[in-house]
Structure formats: structure tokens, C-alpha cells
């Protein structure tokens, strides 16, 4: 399924991009006056291979939830059971992601990709558990490559099912106590930056915990032999399995699955940023289908965005995850595309253009 998905991903269509740029300049507004929104519309035109691209409605948020063996190294002040408790909270509609999803009209799907407890069936819950949390990435691989591929393929399936159900925009979400540690390890591995430059304070940790978190990441990269920039797709899968989480692997698949279906993806924060680095290493064309929803306050996220060459739409010092930053960006993405559908051209509206 991974090979088939990679084979189906098309890079941005240069002709649609050129058409979209030219069309932006004919709309009744001074050239370039919509700033970064013009680039969003052009990007989605390239991704869809059509000008204008379809309005990306409706949107579906998928929250991939998993636990992490590295939690045992005290890299976060929160108990591990909060992951499962938050899954229940998402399903009951009580999390920030639910409030934002309601605000922007997105559906919420929660995927158990590897939380540390069995969950009862519930509407909105997709059960694709790979394990009861990963192993501790600071003593060996967090998961096997086989498990990473299974999680990735679960992410592809979720993307396909949401698209089959009518979704025309996919938003990435995550839940997993300690997952900013795995994210920073992946970001260090894929950008080549030192762990100290890409390790943030997650849910809010003191200086001592932060210093330990950096050391744990250093150990993880050393023990697993992933301290260099990844170049080959096989290296990328190995690094993902070694220092990632089940939700990272599933998010890689979700991104590839959305890209293969030519449905735009809005990336959330640092967890999605780490997953996008892996997806780009597997196929750089997948990125043509992604928009960076926001910039998280987590430092590693900025490093990931810079490496990916993505410009975040919203920058509000959020550091929550769950898909919250992606959800906030969604109306902006819709507005950028709607301009291409509804705004008159100078010709059609009889508005005089500025003399050249």
C-alpha cells in the first residue's frame, strides 16, 4: 500500500501554477495585495492541477493518538494516562480541538494508533493499534520498521476513508504525552541540527527537565545510529522507526494518502512538522499538497518549517497540538481559494486597470 501510494503522488502542475498566478493578476485588486494568500491559492492550484482549485470543503481533522516508551525518562511532567483520558475527552467533544473544529465546521476522527490501554468502541474512534505505546527510543528503536510501515499504512487508510466519505481538506492532529521528545529527535535527524537547537519545552517544562530532554534525544540518536541527515527513503523509514512515535508514522501515511488523493492537507504543529520531514524524504512531491497551518511555539517546529520551505499561515504562540493550529488556518485557506472562484476580473467587472 505504501508503494502504491507513493506511485500515485503527482508533483505540483507547473501549468496550473502559471495559470493561477496570471489569474490572480486579473482579479479586481492591486497585484499582490492578498500577500501570502495568493501563494496559498497558487499552491492549491498546482496541487489540484486545476485553476481555480476546488474549494477545500468540507474538512476533516484526524487526531492520531499514541503513547511513548521515552515517557519513562521524565521528559514531560504529565502522567502517561493523560493520552487515553484526552482521547475520551475528544470523543466527548470537550477538547480545544473540538471547539475549534466546531468553529470552522470540521469533523473530528480520533485514531488509536498505539495508546497504552484498550479503548471501548465509540463513535468517531478508529481502532488501528500497533502496540501499547512505543519502546523507549533512548535505549533502542522505538518500534520495528515493520511496525512503522503498519502505522504508516493505517494513516494512508484513514486519509483514503475520509476522502471517500467526502472530505476535501485533511487536517493533521496528534495526541501523545511525551511526543515532543520524539518530534525533536526526528527533526534533529532530518535537518541535521543539534538536539539543543530543536528541543522545546513541550507542555511546559523547567530548565532541569529541558536539559534532560536534550540529553535523552542525544542518546537516542547515538544509540540508534541516526545522527546524520537522512538521504535515502530506507534511511528515512529506519529513522522514523528508531526515534519516532506511532502517531508520527501514521501522520506520515496520512500526508502521503492525502497527497495521493490530491486533497490538500493542512499541517498542525511540531508533531506534524516532524512527520512532514519524513514524508518529504519518502517523496518530496507530497509537500506540494501541504500547507503549513501555523507556527508552533515549540522551537523545533520553526527548524522543520525552514527545512521544508513552508511558510506558516498563523503565528499565535500556540503550543498545544491536537490539530488546533491547523484548524485555525482552515478558514484562511478556504478564503484564499474562494477568491479565485468569486472575485471578478478587471474585464468582467469593467474596472479600469492601473496604466502600465
Ligand X SMILES: Cc1cc2ncn([C@H]3O[C@H](COP(=O)(O)O)[C@@H](O)[C@H]3O)c2cc1C
Query: Of 56 and 200, which has the nearer Cβ to ligand NIO?
Result: 200
Q: Could you confirm whether 197 is annotated as catalytic?
A: no
Stretch that binds ligand NIO, among 6-14, 48-56, 210-218, 267-275 (CB under 6 A): 267-275
- Tell me: does residue 251 bind ligand X (CB under 6 A): no
Query: Of 87 and 271, which has the nearer Cβ to ligand NIO?
Result: 271
Q: Which residues have C-beta within 8 Å of that of residue 190, sequence separation ≥ 6?
A: 229, 230, 236, 239, 274, 277, 278, 281, 304, 307
175, 299, 310, 313: residue in contact with ligand X (rule CB under 6 A)? 175
- Tell me: does residue 86 bind ligand X (CB under 6 A): yes
28, 203, 227, 345: residue in contact with ligand X (rule CB under 6 A)? 203
Indicate the helix (H) or strand (E) that contains 204. none
Stretch that binds ligand NIO, among 7-15, 52-60, 88-96, 262-270 (CB under 6 A): 262-270
275, 319, 328, 333: residue in contact with ligand NIO (rule CB under 6 A)? 319
Least separation, in Å, of the C-beta of 186 and ligand X? 13
Task: Say how far apart CA 19 and CA 29 lie, in whole Å.
Answer: 17
DSSP-derived secondary structure letter, 298: S
Q: Which of residues 142-161 bind ligand X (CB under 6 A)?
A: none
Cell numbers given for 339: 477568491
Task: Say how far apart CA 66 and CA 155 lie, in whole Å.
Answer: 13
Which class for 208: exposed (0-12), middle (13-18), buried (19 or more C-beta within 10 A)?
Answer: exposed
Least separation, in Å, of the C-beta of 323 and ligand NIO? 9
Q: Which residues of 125-152 are buried (b: 16+ CB within 10 A; e: fewer)?
A: bbebbbbebbbbbbeebbbeeebbbbbb
62, 111, 178, 187: residue in contact with ligand X (rule CB under 6 A)? 178
User: Please, how many CA atoms are within 13 Å of residue 220, restricted to the half-sphere of its CB?
Assistant: 35
- Tell me: does residue 321 bind ligand X (CB under 6 A): yes
- Tell me: does residue 45 bind ligand NIO (CB under 6 A): no
Task: Say how far apart CA 242 and CA 76 lie, in whole Å.
Answer: 20
3-state helix, strand, coil in the chain (%, to 5): 55, 10, 35
Tell the residue number behind the cell numbers 534511511, with chain if given.
Answer: 235
Phi, psi torsion values for 142, nearest 5 degrees: -65, -35
322, 325, 328, 336: residue in contact with ligand X (rule CB under 6 A)? 322
- Tell me: does residue 269 bind ligand NIO (CB under 6 A): yes
Stretch that binds ligand NIO, among 51-59, 60-68, 314-322, 347-355 (CB under 6 A): 314-322
> What are the residue numbers of the active site?
322
The residue ranges that bind ligand X (CB under 6 A) are: 76, 78, 82, 86, 174-181, 202-203, 320-322
The residue ranges that bind ligand NIO (CB under 6 A) are: 180, 202-203, 268-271, 296, 298, 301, 319-321
Amino acid at each position: 500500500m505504501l508503494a502504491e501510494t507513493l506511485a500515485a503522488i503527482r508533483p505540483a502542475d507547473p501549468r496550473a501554477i502559471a495559470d493561477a498566478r496570471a489569474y490572480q493578476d486579473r482579479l479586481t485588486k492591486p497585484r499582490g495585495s492578498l500577500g501570502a494568500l495568493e501563494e496559498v491559492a497558487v499552491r492549491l492550484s498546482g496541487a489540484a492541477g486545476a485553476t481555480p482549485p476546488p474549494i477545500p470543503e468540507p474538512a476533516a481533522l484526524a487526531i492520531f493518538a499514541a503513547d511513548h516508551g521515552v515517557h519513562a525518562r521524565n521528559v514531560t511532567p504529565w502522567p502517561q494516562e493523560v493520552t487515553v483520558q484526552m482521547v475520551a475527552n475528544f470523543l466527548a467533544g470537550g477538547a480545544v480541538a473540538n471547539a475549534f473544529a466546531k468553529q470552522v465546521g470540521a469533523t473530528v476522527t480520533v485514531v488509536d494508533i498505539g495508546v497504552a490501554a484498550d479503548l471501548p468502541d465509540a463513535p468517531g474512534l478508529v481502532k488501528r493499534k500497533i502496540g501499547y505505546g512505543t519502546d523507549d527510543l533512548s535505549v533502542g528503536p522505538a518500534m520495528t520498521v515493520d511496525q512503522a510501515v503498519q502505522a504508516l499504512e493505517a494513516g494512508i487508510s484513514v486519509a483514503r476513508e475520509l476522502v471517500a466519505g467526502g472530505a476535501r481538506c485533511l487536517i493533521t492532529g496528534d495526541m501523545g504525552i511525551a511526543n515532543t521528545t520524539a518530534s525533536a529527535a526526528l527533526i534533529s535527524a532530518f535537518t541535521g541540527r543539534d538536539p539543543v537547537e530543536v528541543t522545546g519545552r513541550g507542555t511546559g517544562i523547567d530548565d532541569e527537565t529541558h536539559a534532560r530532554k536534550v540529553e535523552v534525544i542525544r542518546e537516542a540518536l547515538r544509540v540508534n545510529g541516526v545522527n546524520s541527515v537522512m538521504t535515502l527513503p530506507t534511511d528515512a523509514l529506519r529513522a522514523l522507526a528508531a526515534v519516532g512515535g506511532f502517531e508520527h508514522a501514521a501522520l506520515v501515511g496520512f500526508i502521503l494518502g492525502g497527497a495521493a488523493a490530491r486533497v490538500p492537507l493542512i499541517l498542525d504543529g511540531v508533531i506534524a512538522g516532524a512527520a512532514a520531514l519524513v514524508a518529504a524524504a519518502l517523496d518530496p512531491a507530497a509537500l506540494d499538497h501541504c500547507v503549513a497551518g501555523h507556527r508552533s511555539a515549540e522551537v523545533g517546529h520553526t527548524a522543520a518549517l525552514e527545512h521544508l520551505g513552508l511558510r506558516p499561515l498563523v503565528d499565535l504562540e500556540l503550543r498545544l497540538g491536537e490539530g488546533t493550529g491547523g484548524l485555525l488556518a482552515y478558514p484562511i485557506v478556504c478564503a484564499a481559494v474562494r477568491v479565485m472562484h468569486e472575485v471578478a476580473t478587471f474585464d468582467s467587472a469593467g474596472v479600469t486597470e492601473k496604466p502600465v
